[in-house]
Amino acid sequence: TQLLEQSPQFLSIQEGENLTVYCNSSSVFSSLQWYRQEPGEGPVLLVTVVTGGEVKKLKRLTFQFGDARKDSSLHITAAQPGDTGLYLCAGEYGGSQGNLIFGKGTKLSVKP
Amino acid sequence: DAGVTQSPTHLIKTRGQHVTLRCSPISGHKSVSWYQQVLGQGPQFIFQYYEKEERGRGNFPDRFSARQFPNYSSELNVNALLLGDSALYLCASSYLRDFSPLHFGNGTRLTVT
């Protein structure tokens, strides 16, 4: 059974601080996706990483896929209150398009 | 373009009842997936349908069933509701190809009392 362990589960920081969220598995994934979910809404895709060692940047967000494609991280620089939300990592393994394994999520609160 | 739409947005049922949830995918998307998100957890895969055929099924009991219609919309049915079925049910549509992102609807919040 593929599992994605996400940490930390909760994170409360002040505006301007940096943070990193981790997503780890013992399984190899063909891709890993990061989503953000706000209360009352469905998850919204932030990025997909495919190649081992890949780094993608989205403004103040940096996503990295581990060399072995078993882990990933999300780093936010100078967090802002608008970054508040639930961050979810989701792994896709070969041939399973549409069937993602999600982590439990990291609930981020950025205080002004 | 309209996103993924789900109905109803909220639903309250009692134990033992049956429920039907509906989903309309983004135009052009032929794949629809259903996920259950219990409070405090990430979404868990229930079903995937593509071209009206079941393409994948998660670890859910037979009380859960789904179907996809010729217009690619989909229904999720749950029989003999249990308290533990209370959750946010998410529908996602996509193109069926590698690394194609899922586009989620805002879900149906089901409460079983």
Given a contact cutoff of 8 angstroms between Cβ atoms, the answer to whether B46 and A102 are in contact is no
| Interchain proximity A42–B55, CB inside 8 Å | no
| Residue indicated by tokens 């629809």 | B32
* Of residues A29 and B12, more confidently modeled: B12
| Residue indicated by tokens 């983004």 | B26
Name the closest residue on chain A to residue B50, using Cα atoms. A98
Which residues of B fall within a CB distance of 8 Å from A102?
35, 42-44
Does position B97 have pLDDT exceeding 80, yes or no?
no
Interface contact B41, partner A, CB < 8 A: yes
- Residue A112 pLDDT: 96
Q: How far apart are CA B91 and CA B105, in angstroms?
A: 6
Provide the mean pLDDT of chain A. Answer: 93
Q: How far apart are CA B18 and CA B80, in angstroms?
A: 6
Given a contact cutoff of 8 angstroms between Cβ atoms, the answer to whether A66 and A52 are in contact is yes
Q: How far apart are CA A31 and CA A59, in angstroms?
A: 21
* Separation in Å, CA A26 to CA A4, A66, B93: 8, 12, 28
Q: How far apart are CA B93 and CA B50, in angstroms?
A: 10
Interface contact B10, partner A, CB < 8 A: no
Given a contact cutoff of 8 angstroms between Cβ atoms, the answer to whether B24 and B5 are in contact is yes
Closest CA to A5 of A30, A22, A28, A29: A22
Which residues of B fall within a CB distance of 8 Å from A48?
99, 101
Mean pLDDT to the nearest integer, A51-79: 96
Interface contact A88, partner B, CB < 8 A: yes
Interface contact A54, partner B, CB < 8 A: no
Which residues of B fall within a CB distance of 8 Å from A99?
33, 45, 48, 56, 58
Q: What pLDDT digit, counting tens, does each position of B22-80 carry?
A: 999 999 999 999 999 999 899 999 999 999 999 989 999 999 999 999 999 999 999 99
| Interchain proximity A98–B98, CB inside 8 Å | no
Specify which residues B44 forms β-bridges with: B36
Does position B99 have pLDDT exceeding 90, yes or no?
no
DSSP string, A14-45: ETT--EEEEEE-SS--SEEEEEEE-TTS--EE
Interface contact A74, partner B, CB < 8 A: no
